[in-house]
Amino acid sequence: MPAYRAVTAVTCWVLAFSAFGQGVELDLTDKPSVEAQFKPTLAFLGVYASGDDVAGQTARAKMLEDALLKSLENGEGFSKIITPAIAQKAAPQGGFTQCREWSCVNAAAVKLGVHRVLWGVVEKRGPGSQLMLYGFDSSLPALIGANVESGEREEKKQLGGFAGINGSSAAQKDRDFVRKALNASAPVLEKLSNPLGKLVIDCIEPSAVTTMGDRTLGTGSFELPMPAGRHDISTEAKGFLPFSTGVTVEPQKTTTVQVLLAAKPLNERAVMVQESTEGQRKIPFYEKPATYVVVGGAAILATGLVFGMLAKQTESTAGRTQNGAVVGITRAQAKQAQTQAMLSNVLVGVVGAAMAGGAVWFILSPTYETPNHPDAERGEPGGGFGFTASVGGSF
C-alpha cells in the first residue's frame, strides 16, 4: 500500500475515533451558502439559574451563557445577534426563567425586533445540573428545545461500589458540561437559522399601513425579510376600503403583493343652500316698478272691459223688439259702439300681455337690496369745496 494512502486512512480513523469519544457528530455535507439578506436575526436572552439551588447553579449558568454566546458569534447562521445584556430590556416581570410559552416569547421577539430567540435555564438535578434550551421561531407553532445533564449522575453510577477511586475534578466536570451543552444546542441552532424570505408590498397610496396581526409591517410600498410560511396581511388607508390577503413566503425567495385599494363610496346628501340676507334691506312691494305696471295695467284693463260691456249693450239694444216693433238705434250710436268694441279689444289684449309681463317682473325682481353707505350718498367727509368756471366769447 502506498504511504500516502496509509497516512490518509490512519488520519480518518483517528478523527472518527476522537469524534466518537467526545460525543461529537461530524457533518461533512456541504451546506449551501445563504445571502445576508435572508439570514434571520437572533436574540440570545441568556442562561438563567432556577429551581431550589439558584445560588449553586448561578456560576454554571454564567459559564454556559458565555460559551453559547461565543459559539453564536463565531457562527454564520444569523445576520445579527442581540446579546443577553441588551435583551434584558425586553425581559418580562420575573425574568425569562418563567417565560416558556409561545405568546410570552413572541412578545419579547416583537419588542426586540428579531426573528428568532434562544435562551436556557439551569436547574439542579440530583448530584449534578440540567440545562434546558428553548428556541423560538415565529413561523413554528411551538417552541423547540433540548435538555442535557451534566456528568455527575452518570459518574456516580460508575464509581458506586469502587472505594478509593476519585472522580473528575470540578473544573473538568464544568468543561464536560459545556461540551455537552454545545453539542445539544447544535440541532436547535440549525432549526433557528432556517433562511428567511423577502416580502415586497407594492402600494401606490403612501399613507396606507400594512399590518400582520397586531404588528405593523410598514407604510406605502416597502420590502422586508419575513419568516417562511403562510402569512395573513391587511392594508388600510383613509378613504379606502380595507385590503386583506394571504401570502406564502418561501425561503430565500422574494414574494410581491400588489395592494389594490378601492375608494369608499361617497354618502351624498341633498343640502339646501339659503342665501344670507344679513346686512340687507327687504324691498317693500310698493317700491318695485313692476307693482305699478301690474296695478296700472289692471286699471286700463278694467277700462277696456267697460268699453266692451257698453258696446255689447248697444248691440243688444239694436236687436230688441218693443210692442211688436224693432227698436232701432241711431247711426251715431252704432258708430260709437264700434269704437268702444275696438278699444275694448285693443286694451284687453295689449294691457293683458303687459300685466303678465309685469307679474313676471315682480316675481323675478330681488326681494332684498344692499343699502348704500351713508357716506357714499353725502360724499366723504372733509372733501372741502370746489367751483367751476366757464369762459365764453367770440373774437
Q: Are the CB atoms for 120 and 67 separated by under 8 Å?
A: no
Task: Name the band, by pLDDT with cuts 50, 70 and 90, for residue 372.
Answer: low
DSSP track, 352-387: HHHHHHHHHHHHHS-SEEPPPPHHHHH--TT-----
Cβ neighbours, 10 Å, residue 155 = 16
Q: Is 388 exposed, middle or buried (0-12, 13-18, 19+ CB in 10 A)?
A: exposed
3-state helix, strand, coil in the chain (%, to 5): 40, 20, 35
User: What is the C-alpha separation between 264 and 250, in angstroms, rounded?
Assistant: 34
Question: Grid coordinates representing 121?
Answer: 435555564
Least confident of 73-77, 158-162, 215-219, 356-360: 158-162
Fold adopted by 197-258: Immunoglobulin-like (2.60.40)
For residue 187, the surrounding DSSP H or E stretch is: helix 170-192
Q: Is 79 exposed, middle or buried (0-12, 13-18, 19+ CB in 10 A)?
A: middle
The predicted-structure confidence for 257-302, as pLDDT tens digits, reads as follows: 999 999 998 775 656 666 666 767 777 876 778 777 777 778 777 8
288 or 22, greater pLDDT: 288
Q: What is the pLDDT of residue 151?
A: 78
Average pLDDT of the chain? Answer: 78
Give the amino acid at 147.
N
pLDDT reading at 307 higher than 90: no
| Dihedral-angle region of residue 46 (phi above 0 means left; psi in -120 to 50 means alpha; beta otherwise) | left
- Domain range 34-154+167-192, its CATH number among 3.30.1490, 1.10.10, 3.40.190, 3.40.50: 3.40.50
pLDDT reading at 322 higher than 50: yes
Q: What predicted TM-score, i.e. pTM, was given to this entire model?
A: 0.58
The predicted-structure confidence for 221-258, as pLDDT tens digits, reads as follows: 999 999 999 999 999 999 999 999 999 999 999 999 99
Give the single-character DSSP code of 233. Answer: E
For residue 217, the surrounding DSSP H or E stretch is: strand 215-219
pLDDT reading at 16 higher than 60: no
Q: Is 61 helix (H, G, I), strand (E, B) or coil?
A: helix
